[in-house]
C-alpha cells in the first residue's frame, strides 16, 4: 500500500469523478483507475460503485475513508516536520546501489537529496541485489536499490519501474536459435552471475519454472556489460531488454525471442524507518525523479 494510492482514494471520494480527480492530482485517468484498483485488490474490498460517468463510495469505502484521512494526515505531518528540519539533519546515510548509475537515475536522486538535506553526509555502496536486501533488513544501510521481489517482513519498498530481461546469445548461434526449445537453450553454455545477484535469481527462476537448470560454464560479476562476454562467444546470458535490443541491432548478439524475464526496480528501506525524516525525504525525491513511472 502506497501513500499516493491513499491520496488518490481520498481525492476520488471527495470529487466523485475520475477525470476531476486526475486533473486535481496532475496524473492521467488510467493512473487514477490503476491506483484505486491496486488499493482495492490489496485491501480485498470494493471501495467504489461505478456507473454513468460518476463514482461513489461503497459502504465499506465510507467506513474506511476517515481512517485513510488520518493516515494521510500523519504522513503529511511527518513530511512537514522533515521539511521543517531541512538543513538541521546531520549525520551519515549509506545507500546501496546496483552498479548502473544511469539506469538508477542515481545522479538526479542524490542531487535532490543533497539539496533537501545539505548537512547530511551521503555515501553510496555498490553491491549485489540480495546483499542490499540483507543490509537494509539488518540496518547496516538506510536504503538500497533492488531488482526483484523483496521478501522480508522487516523491509518495505517503493517500486520505481518494471524491468524486462531477454536471453541473448553469440551471433554464431543466430541461425539455430529460433528453432530451439527450452531444453536446448538450457543445455547451451551459459554465463552465470553470483548467487546474490538479481541476474542469478532471475535465471534460476526462469528455468526452474520449466523444470530445468541452465548449463552455467562460467560466472562473472560484470553484470552491467555482459554483452562483451556474449559477443566473445563465451555463452548465453540474460540482458536488460533496452541494452539487448540496442546490442542486437548492432549485430553483436542474437536474441532468443521465445522468453523474457519480468521483474521490477525498487528502493528498499526498513519498515520501522518509514517515518524517519531521511527516509521520507528519499521517497519524496524518488517520486519526483521517477514521476509517472511509479504511477504505472
Rounded to an integer, what distance in angstroms lies between the CA atom of residue 53 and that of residue 44?
24
Mean pLDDT within 139-162:
94
Q: Parallel, antiparallel, or unpaired for β 54-57 and 48-51?
A: antiparallel
* Same domain flag for 188 and 256: yes
Same domain for 38 and 175: no
Q: For the chain, how many structural domains are there in total?
A: 3
Contact 95, 122 (CB under 8 A): yes
pLDDT at residue 197 in the model: 93
On whether both 123 and 183 belong to a single domain, the answer is no
Kindly state whether residues 14 and 35 are assigned to the same domain: yes
Q: Which of 84, 102, 131 is the last residue of a domain?
A: 84
Looking at per-residue confidence, does 291 or 253 come out higher? 253
> What is the residue-averaged pLDDT of the chain?
89
- Residue range of the domain that includes 142: 91-162+265-295
pLDDT digits (tens, 9 = 90+) for 185-237: 999 999 999 999 999 999 999 999 999 999 999 998 876 667 789 999 999 99
275 and 153 fall within a common domain: yes
Q: Is there a single domain that holds both residue 190 and residue 140?
A: no
CA dihedral in degrees (214, 97, 277, 280; nearest 10)?
Answer: -50
Task: Tell me what pLDDT residue 214 has.
Answer: 96
Whether the predicted pLDDT of 174 surpasses 50: yes
How distant, in Å, are the alpha carbons of 3, 35, 104, 286 from that of 32? 13, 5, 25, 19
Are 282 and 267 in contact, with CB atoms under 8 Å apart? yes
Q: Residue 204: what pLDDT?
A: 94
Lowest mean pLDDT of 11-20, 48-57, 224-233, name the range. Answer: 48-57
What's the pLDDT tens digit per position in 97-147? 998 899 999 999 999 998 888 888 999 999 999 999 999 999 999 999 999
Instruction: Give the model's pLDDT for residue 53.
Output: 61
Q: Are 69 and 216 in a shared domain?
A: no
Of 84, 114, 149, the residue at which a domain comes to its end is 84
CATH number for the domain that contains residue 137: 3.40.190.10
User: pTM value?
Assistant: 0.69
pLDDT of res. 163? 95
Q: Mark whether 31 and 122 lie in a shared domain.
A: no
pLDDT number for residue 296:
44
Is 162 in contact with 261 (CB distance < 8 Å)?
Answer: no
CA nearest neighbour of 164 among 242, 230, 224 = 242
Burial class (CB in 10 A: 0-12, 13-18, 19+), 277: buried
Domain check: are 80 and 136 in the same one? no
CB 294 within 8 A of CB 160: yes
Q: Look at residue 251 and tell me whether its pLDDT is greater than 90.
A: yes
Q: Are residues 215 and 282 in the same domain?
A: no
Q: Check pLDDT > 80 for residue 255.
A: yes
Report the C-alpha gap between 137 and 153 in whole angstroms: 9
Residue 254 dihedral angles phi and psi, to the nearest 5°: -115, 145
* Sign of the four-CA dihedral 112, 117, 118, 120: negative
- Of 60-74, 85-99, 194-208, least confident by mean pLDDT is 85-99
Mean pLDDT over 53-77 rounds to 84
For 40, the grid coordinates are 482495492
**H-helix or E-strand spanning residue 128:** none
Section 252-281 average pLDDT: 93
Give the mean model confidence (pLDDT) for residues 274-290.
89
Q: Which of 84, 109, 131 is the last residue of a domain?
A: 84
Alpha helix segments (H runs only) across the chain:
3-15, 18-25, 29-43, 59-84, 101-104, 106-116, 129-138, 182-187, 198-208, 227-231, 241-249, 277-290, 292-295
pLDDT-derived band at 171 (thresholds 50, 70, 90) equals: very high
In terms of domains, do 237 and 197 share one? yes
Cα separations in angstroms, 131 against 25, 73, 232? 37, 35, 29
Residue 199: how many CB atoms within 10 A of its CB? 25
CATH assignment at residue 62: 1.10.10.10
Q: Are residues 152 and 39 in the same domain?
A: no
Mean pLDDT of 150-157: 92
Our measurement of the distance from residue 22's CA atom to the centroid of its chain's CA atoms, rounded to an integer in Å, reads 23
Amino acid at each position: 500500500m502506497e501513500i499516493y494510492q491513499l491520496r488518490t482514494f481520498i481525492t476520488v471520494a471527495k470529487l466523485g469523478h475520475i477525470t476531476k480527480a486526475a486533473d486535481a492530482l496532475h496524473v492521467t485517468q488510467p493512473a487514477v483507475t490503476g491506483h484505486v484498483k491496486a488499493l482495492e485488490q490489496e485491501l480485498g474490498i470494493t471501495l467504489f460503485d461505478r456507473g454513468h460517468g460518476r463514482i461513489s463510495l461503497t459502504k465499506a469505502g465510507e467506513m474506511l475513508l476517515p481512517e485513510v484521512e488520518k493516515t494521510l494526515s500523519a504522513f503529511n505531518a511527518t513530511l512537514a516536520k522533515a521539511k521543517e528540519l531541512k538543513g538541521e539533519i546531520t549525520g551519515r546515510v549509506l545507500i546501496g546501489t546496483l552498479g548502473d548509475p544511469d539506469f538508477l537515475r542515481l545522479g538526479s536522486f542524490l542531487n535532490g537529496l543533497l539539496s533537501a538535506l545539505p548537512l547530511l553526509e551521503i555515501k553510496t555502496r555498490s553491491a549485489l541485489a540480495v546483499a542490499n536486501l540483507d543490509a537494509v533488513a539488518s540496518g547496516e544501510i538506510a536504503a538500497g536499490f533492488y531488482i526483484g521481489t523483496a521478501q522480508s517482513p522487516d523491509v518495505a519498498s517503493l517500486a520505481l519501474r518494471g524491468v524486462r530481461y531477454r536471453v541473448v546469445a553469440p551471433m554464431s548461434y543466430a541461425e539455430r536459435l529460433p528453432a530451439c526449445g527450452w531444453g536446448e537453450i538450457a543445455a547451451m553454455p551459459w554465463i552465470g552471475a553470483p548467487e546474490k545477484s538479481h541476474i542469478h535469481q532471475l535465471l534460476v527462476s526462469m528455468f526452474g519454472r520449466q523444470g530445468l537448470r541452465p548449463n552455467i560454464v562460467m560466472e562473472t560479476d560484470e553484470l552491467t556489460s555482459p554483452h562483451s562476454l556474449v559477443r566473445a562467444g563465451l555463452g548465453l546470458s540474460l540482458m536488460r531488454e533496452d541494452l539487448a535490443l540496442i546490442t542486437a541491432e548492432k549485430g553483436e548478439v542474437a536474441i532468443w525471442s521465445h522468453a523474457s524475464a519480468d521483474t521490477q526496480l525498487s528502493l528498499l528501506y526498513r519498515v520501522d524507518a518509514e517515518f524517519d525524516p531521511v527516509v521520507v525525504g528519499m521517497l519524496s525525491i524518488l517520486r519526483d525523479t521517477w514521476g509517472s513511472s511509479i504511477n504505472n
